[in-house]
Amino acid sequence: MFVSSDCSAQPDFKSCTLLMPAVSVGNVGQLAVDLVISTLGMSKVGYFYTDCLVPMIGNNPYATTGDNTAELCINAEVYALPSKQLVVLQIRSPFIKNKYRPFCQTLLSWVESCRFAKVVLLSSSHAYQRSDQQLFGTPLRYLLSPAVQKTDEELMQKLNWRELEKIAAFPGVNGDEKVLYIPGSGITKLLFTESCSKGIQMIVLLKFCSEGDNIPDALALTDYLNEWLQLTGNQQSSSSPTKSSRWKIPSSWKLIFGSGLPPALF
pLDDT at 240: 46
Percent share of the chain, pLDDT over 90: 67
Hey, what CATH class is 12-265 in?
Answer: alpha beta
pLDDT at 214: 94
Q: Which residue has the higher pLDDT, 245 or 146?
A: 146
What average pLDDT does this structure show over 196-203?
A: 94
What digits encode the pLDDT tens for the residues 68-120?
788 889 999 999 999 999 999 999 999 999 999 999 999 999 999 999 999 99
pLDDT at 258: 73
Closest C-alpha to 93, from 61, 68, 118: 61
Computed over every residue of the chain, the mean pLDDT equals: 89
CA distances from residue 264 to 146, 237, 258, 261 in whole angstroms, order as listed: 59, 46, 16, 8
Predicted confidence band of residue 172 (pLDDT cuts 50, 70, 90): low
Specify the amino acid at residue 27.
N
Q: Which residue has the higher pLDDT, 150 or 217?
A: 217
Question: Other CB atoms closer than 10 Å to residue 96's CB: what's the count?
Answer: 15
CB 122 within 8 A of CB 32: yes
What digits encode the pLDDT tens for the residues 201-247?
999 999 999 999 999 999 999 999 999 999 987 544 444 444 456 89
pLDDT at 235: 47
Decide if pLDDT at 198 tops 60.
yes
pLDDT at 234: 55
Predicted confidence band of residue 124 (pLDDT cuts 50, 70, 90): very high
Question: Other CB atoms closer than 10 Å to residue 19's CB: what's the count?
Answer: 27
